[in-house]
Chains A and B, each alone.
Chain A
Amino acid sequence: MAEPTALLDVRDLKIGATVYAPGEPPEDITIVHGVSFTLEKGRVLGLIGESGAGKSTIGLASMAYGRGGVRITGGEVYLNGRDILKVGPRGLRRLRSNEVAYVAQSAAASFNPALKLMDQVVEAVLAHGKSGRRAVEARARELFAKLKLPNPDTFGDRYPHQVSGGQLQRAMTAMALACKPDLIVFDEPTTALDVTTQIGVLAAIKDAIRDEGVAALYITHDLAVVAQVSDEIMVLRHGRMVEHGDTRQIIEAPREDYTRALVSVREIEHEAKQPGDAPVLAARKIGAAYSGSLKVLHDVSVEVYPGQTIAVVGESGSGKSTLARVITGLLPPSEGRIEFAGRTLSPALSGRSKDDLRELQMVYQMADVAMNPRQTVAQIIGRPLEFYFGLKGAEKRQRIAELLDEIEMGKGFADRYPAELSGGQKQRVCIARALAAKPKLIICDEVTSALDPLIADGILKLLLDLQKVEGVAYLFITHDLATVKAIADSIAVMHQGKVVRYGPKDQVLSPPFDAYTEMLLASVPEMHLGWLEQAIERTRMKPAGH
């Protein structure tokens, strides 16, 4: 076997784990089936794949670490020429931080709540005896400045809970860089952030690793993100490598079908319809507040037309989910009224008629918890049939079979429990449950954001097809602009409890923009090289502050 010359040389890596299902004997499973790759000094490799692809596991294995019951069962991992799987615990302690460092997805959980940030950032350097406290702190402040953290001189005096999520993610990058390692493993560092925060953090990370000349493994499920920061990309699926090439080749000329599917995801063709004359739902000047706290909705007005889709877009805290709660009657508004199918709805759930409830259905983000785990698919879909239409026996079974056909699942699923379904299938059953009520409007609350992109695509296509057949209208709540572009006829952009922009899709997405919409649109990663630089340039935003 050739002597390893690259910085990181992973050869035929196999990783397994033991699964302890309650009431079942423990079972050994394989997570990674023999993956090999090399990484040269100063290069950035993006590891991309859907959940279960094994990308985080591989990332941690490059530090000779297995989370929980995960263990490395075969292969070699050479870092700077020696197999780190064989160096022993003491050798590992010496090379962690010094040669390889880690940036986690949730910096908020990864910082010790009881210690000041500065103490944590400099800790590893001091523990490894690399230099004196004063010098390290000076370097840390320099890194804080490089990562565009506010007040870099005093930033380290704060405790983790005193700074924002985006700032913690930058601080964690500074902590990783503090020891001047050769390699940093970034494990989904921006996934938990809002898009307008993500863009700044992404730019800061990219600049910092370029400046410091450090190599990186950048792990993410978002191909558009990884295209911005990496020199090469490796696509993983079910613990196997699908394709490995330089970033331009993967994005512009993918060789494998699976990669092609990932690249072209969310390119659903959808011609926006013109608004009709009578809206099925009209929210008029809605104001709302949770009991005793600040107002979360201000003067919100939107209309939905029969058979059409309105997308309500916003980041966390924009009030979009509160709007859904107001419309469904779970949170009676403090001001304004809701008109539905030509009548004014009672503000509270208890005042609404059975028909009001039937015609306004809801599909949730987490299909997992939207279905009673103790009921079968047939019971879940059958209940609205029984409750609203009094269907029983053969008639009910017939209708359940039809609905299962409509969601492209077939009646074989009728007797399964939710735990026996995949994520996409669960969401389909939830859609069938909503359809069973023959609604005029379905509120879709982030229905695709918990799903992998290809599965999410399937759900969006299904929703569009169903709309054509059933003529049902959708109110689509989402933070994801790609979803919006794919399915909306009209769009309402929400920010801090207000609708800042509202109208037909083409109009909302065309200039001139208001400041917030412009920033939001600019922040959504696009699947082409150089997008990040252009976006930063275009908005001339100051990435600090988040």
Chain B
Amino acid sequence: MRGAVAKLIAQRVGLGLLLLFAVSLLIFVGTQILPGDVAQSILGQTATPQALANLREKLGLNEPAYMRYLSWLGGVVTGDLGTSLTSGQNIAATIGPRLKNTLFLAGVAAIIAVPLAILLGLLAVRFRGRWPDKLISGATLASISLPEFFIGYLLIYFVAVKLGWFTSVSTVYDGMGFGARLNAVALPAATLTLVVLAHMMRMTRAAILNVMQSAYIETAELKGLSQFRVILRHAFPNAIAPIVNVVMLNLAYLVVGVVVVEVIFVYPGMGQFLVDHVAKRDVPVVQAAGLIFAAVFIGLNIVADVVSILANPRLRHPR
């Protein structure tokens, strides 16, 4: 019976890897075969034909597309992300510290947002239909309508500029202490938290309500069990999988939110890096960064699926 679950998980992970492979192809196709010449884009309309030809040669644009894809993919697999067109630096080496910064920021936001969202979700269920619940659904409605930069600049305007509690620019550098680093990411992390919190709360609420409305919860209540016992023994084991799913989906959402938030706070992470190089039309960097974002996104989705498989008693204890 272990085997069956292991097989399912292996299948899911394999499927994820296949998807990642397909996505790498998609990103490559998106940047290389679309109408629009990369060399032309980089040099602009005024470029001389000679300069264009030189750049094409340098980029390997004269080789057939599939050859370029294969050599790029080969590089990615071995950890070589290529060279930046604009700075000439090794992309993997440049991206490393920035990826760490981004993960740090997203991690801080997640550590605050996830427990808070689950707690508030539980509260909403506990006070279903009363004011805390209504407040939460109102906040959700507002929060999915607010652009990240609105929340971000509001925080800067009031908390950083008017109150002077934090700096408006989140500078981090090597050798910075952990406390100082936390202080630097406080506002961006708060922005990210606000961006995902309401949504995560609402989804947690729905997941728990769904379990609480099952017939077996009614049975437990009619058995005369205490409210605490009903939740702990009967609701919780069945709510884990949906809640983990909610959390993972929202963390994946964080990955997107982080791009804009980093630009707002001029935070040296992956998101800002990507945006800078899109503006410079530095295709190899864009490909690498896009692939890394997609990999994180897909990875979180795989984790969500694996947890669902592990938490399903029908799969853990087959007939």
A residues adjacent to B (C-beta < 8 A)? 63, 65, 67, 92-98, 101-102, 104, 106, 109-115, 123-124, 127-128, 159, 161-162, 175
Contacts and interface: CB of A to CB of B under 8 A. Distances in A.
Given A161-B313, A161-B319, A162-B319, A112 B216 contact: yes
Nearest to A124: B223
Most chain B C-beta atoms within 10 Å of own C-beta, residue among A127, A128, A175: A127
Nearest to A111: B216
24 contacts: A67-B218, A93-B224, A96-B221, A96-B223, A101-B223, A106-B215, A109-B215, A110-B218, A112-B234, A112-B237, A113-B216, A113-B313, A114-B237, A114-B313, A115-B233, A115-B234, A123-B223, A124-B225, A127-B223, A128-B224, A161-B313, A161-B314, A161-B317, A161-B319
B33 interface: no
B219 A110 contact: yes
Given A110-B218, A114-B237, A96 B313 contact: no
A97 B234 CA distance: 17
Contacts of B219: 102, 104, 110-112
Contacts of A67: 218
Interface residues of B, number: 21
A179 B224 CA distance: 11
Interface in B190-236: 214-216, 218-226, 229, 233-234
Given A110-B219, A113-B216, A159-B313, A127 B224 contact: yes
B223 A92 contact: no
B238 interface: yes
Which one of A63, A97, A110 has the highest number of Cβ atoms from chain B below 10 Å of its Cβ?
A110
Given A115-B233, A161-B314, A98 B224 contact: yes
Contacts of A115: 233-234, 237
Contacts of A124: 223-225
B216 A96 contact: no
B224 A94 contact: yes
Interface in B234-259: 234, 237-238
Nearest to B312: A113
Interface of B: 214-216, 218-226, 229, 233-234, 237-238, 313-314, 317, 319
B211 to A, nearest CB: 10
Contacts of B216: 109-113
A115 B220 CA distance: 12
A65 B314 CA distance: 31
A63 B216 CA distance: 16
Nearest to A113: B313
Nearest to B238: A114
A161 B316 CA distance: 11
A284 to B, nearest CB: 37
Contact of A93 (B226, B234, B317): B226
Contacts of A161: 313-314, 317, 319
A172 to B, nearest CB: 8
Contact of B226 (A95, A110, A127, A162): A127
B147 to A, nearest CB: 31
Contacts of A114: 237-238, 313
Contacts of B317: 159, 161-162
B243 to A, nearest CB: 14
B215 to A, nearest CB: 4
Q: Which 10 pairs between the two chains have the least Cβ-Cβ distance?
A: A96-B224, A109-B215, A114-B237, A124-B223, A112-B216, A93-B224, A102-B222, A110-B219, A97-B224, A110-B215
A98 B218 CA distance: 17
A65 B215 CA distance: 14
A541 B284 CA distance: 76
Nearest to B223: A124
Point out which of A97, A98, A114, A175 has the most chain B C-beta atoms below 10 A from its C-beta.
A114
Between A102, A112, A175, the greatest number of chain B beta carbons within 10 A of the residue's beta carbon is seen for A112
A113 B218 contact: no
B46 to A, nearest CB: 60
A92 B224 contact: yes
Given A96-B222, A127-B223, 9 more contacts: A65-B222, A98-B224, A102-B219, A109-B214, A110-B215, A112-B219, A112-B238, A113-B216, A113-B313
A144 B299 CA distance: 46
A112 B238 CA distance: 8
B8 to A, nearest CB: 16
Contacts of A95: 224
Contacts of A65: 221-222
A209 B223 CA distance: 18
Contacts of B238: 112-114
Nearest to A128: B224
Given A113-B216, A113-B238, A115-B233, A97 B223 contact: yes
Contact of A104 (B215, B226, B314): B215
B225 A123 contact: yes
Contacts of B226: 93, 127
B220 A112 contact: yes
Most A C-beta atoms less than 10 A away, residue of B215, B216, B221, B229: B216
A97 B224 CA distance: 6
Contacts of B215: 104, 106, 109-110
A63 B317 CA distance: 34
A104 B221 CA distance: 13
Nearest to B236: A114
B205 to A, nearest CB: 18
A15 B319 CA distance: 42
B236 to A, nearest CB: 9
Nearest to B213: A68
A127 B228 CA distance: 12
B309 to A, nearest CB: 14
A409 B51 CA distance: 85
A66 to B, nearest CB: 11
Nearest to A114: B237
Given A106-B215, A110-B216, A114-B313, A127 B319 contact: no
Contacts of B218: 67, 104, 110
A184 B226 CA distance: 20
Contacts of B314: 113, 159, 161
Contacts of B229: 127
